[in-house]
Amino acid sequence: MKISGSITALVTPFKNGSVDESSLRSLVEWQIGSGTHGLLACGTTGESTTLSLSEHLRVIEIVADVADKRLPVIAGASSSNTMMSIKLAEHAQQVGVDAILVAAPAYNRPSQEGLYQHFMAINEAVELPMILYNIPHRSAVEMSIDTVIRLKTSCPKVIGVKDSTSSLSRASLERVSMPEDWIMLSGDDGTTLGYMAHGGNGSISGLANVIPGWWAKLQEACTVGDFGKALELYNMIDPLRRSLTLDGNPVGVKFALSRLGYIVDELRLPLVSASPKTREAIEKEMEKLGLIS
């Protein structure tokens, strides 16, 4: 399946301390029905670092089952422990997802050689296509362009990158350094429009949880080069995007989804629900867009 366009980085719904499987299924169906082009399960927005191993595996199983090959499903397989990443990747392969997303290990702060060997070990363990996740503000280490080139050269299964650096100059440098089939996905909603103009193929978005149809239309406009329409959509959406980020990801997104009736507004510590001021700001922007009354 083609991995491009609007890929929703799904939240993981919780209820009374457990994964809310019913709400997750409903959320996936709504996303697909709204025109989303792909789904990511157990990423940053999915609070993957707070999930137990069994919960992580179960969330991937549910999303793959509900999607049922109607659109690409990407499974998060990130860990600061390479062997755990391999275990997550092996399970993702067993349940039939289309690709895995693997971030640079957080906290360990590996060298570029360590990053290379980490991704190589995962690549050698499974046959699934791999998308590199470059998110230095969370992992405390950035994959250099040279490391990305080296990985692509050594590993044909490494097919692209989720870029959360917010650097548009890096996007251009990567585009001219990589083969034409290299998949470039924005991981930062605030710079996605610019990233697409610099050669991006789509985005993996937390915002898309709340407005899947509009975000898909924005990506579609970019894909056909209609950046005038994309800018018009972005200008309409951006005030909501900014309000959703006031207390961090996925705090605002979960509150917005609870107001839409899809999930309970529940997060896992150390994350807590949105402040009253943030809730008010989010509701104000949702009302402007006609999402709630």
Residue 68's contacts (CB-CB under 8 Å, 6 or more residues apart) are none
| Cα 248 to Cα 256: distance, rounded to the nearest angstrom | 13
Residue 180, number of CB atoms within 10 A of its CB: 5
Phi then psi for residue 134, to 5 deg, are: -100, 100
CA R_g for the chain = 18
The SS3 call for residue 176 is helix
Q: Are 62 and 26 in contact (CB under 8 A)?
A: no
Q: Which two tokens stand for residue 79?
A: 């860990």
Q: Are 122 and 85 in contact (CB under 8 A)?
A: yes
- Active centre residues (catalytic): 133, 162
Spatial CA neighbour of 209 closest among 159, 288, 282: 282
